[in-house]
Amino acid sequence: MVTKHEKFLSCQHSFEFAKKVLLFTVLDDCLYFVTMSHEDVAMYEVVVVVVVVLEVVAVVVLVVVVALSVLVVVVVEVVVVVVVVVAVVILVVVVVVILVVVVVVRVEVVVVVMVEVVVVVEVVVVVVVVVVVAVAVAVVVVVLVVVVALSVVVVVVVVVVEVVVVVVVVVVVVVVVVVVVVVVVVVVMV
């Protein structure tokens, strides 16, 4: 036959366990649980362990989601920088090539053809240069706008996912705490 003192010690052990793990006291006075059986105490400790495991899993999921969101944002920003650098380099190369062609064509025309032809060639080359530079700038601007828009969309999606995860974690924790309180109240009433 189990004495009330032994039941009280089992109950006290269960509450000390709950206080250390969950960092809050479910009930202040363990004397309410003097009539608990060892099976009730064991069930209570199992509930406490399940609560702790669920809280740890929720925190781990939250940390993983935040880390992945930060990684995605960093990757998108790196891609944006690389695209911008490549676009600028291409634009500079195009301009340099056009200028070299202008100089070479002008020298050759001056040497071979008359002054009137030189003027016509220079006008044509200037028009070509302006058109090519305008197209290159337009392409660069369009690429930049698209990349920035995609990065903004990614950031918005990441923020929405983080908010959803936080809400889910909070709901899980609240549900678990409510379950624990209900179990404790039921055990006390029994």
Per-residue pLDDT tens over the stretch 156-165: 777 777 777 7
- Predicted pLDDT of residue 35: 47
DSSP state of 113: S
Q: Is the residue at 139 inside a domain? A: yes
Rg for the chain (alpha carbons), in Å? 37
Per-residue pLDDT tens over the stretch 8-48: 556 555 555 555 444 344 444 444 444 455 566 666 667 66
Reply yes or no on whether the pLDDT at 168 is more than 70: yes
Q: Whole domain around residue 175: which residue ranges?
A: 50-189
What is the average per-residue pLDDT within 69-96?
74
Q: Is the residue at 44 inside a domain? A: no
Q: Is the residue at 110 inside a domain? A: yes
Query: % helix / strand / coil in the chain, to the nearest 5?
Result: 90, 0, 10
Name the residue among 90, 95, 117 with its Cα closest to residue 105. Answer: 117
Q: Is the residue at 60 inside a domain? A: yes
Structural domain count, the chain: 1
Q: Is the residue at 76 inside a domain? A: yes
Instruction: Compute the distance between CA of residue 98 and CA of residue 110 in angstroms, rounded to an integer.
Output: 18
Q: How many CB atoms lie within 10 A of CB 93?
A: 11
Name the residue among 84, 2, 81 with its Cα closest to residue 36. Answer: 2
Q: Is the residue at 26 inside a domain? A: no
Reply yes or no on whether the pLDDT at 81 is more than 70: yes
Q: Is the residue at 79 inside a domain? A: yes
CB 59 within 8 A of CB 89: no
Instruction: Compute the distance between CA of residue 56 and CA of residue 11 in angstroms, rounded to an integer.
Output: 25
State the alpha helices, DSSP H only, in 36-114: 38-112
Instruction: Compute the distance between CA of residue 92 and CA of residue 111 in angstroms, rounded to an integer.
Output: 29
The answer to whether the predicted template modeling score (pTM) of the entire model surpasses 0.85 is: no
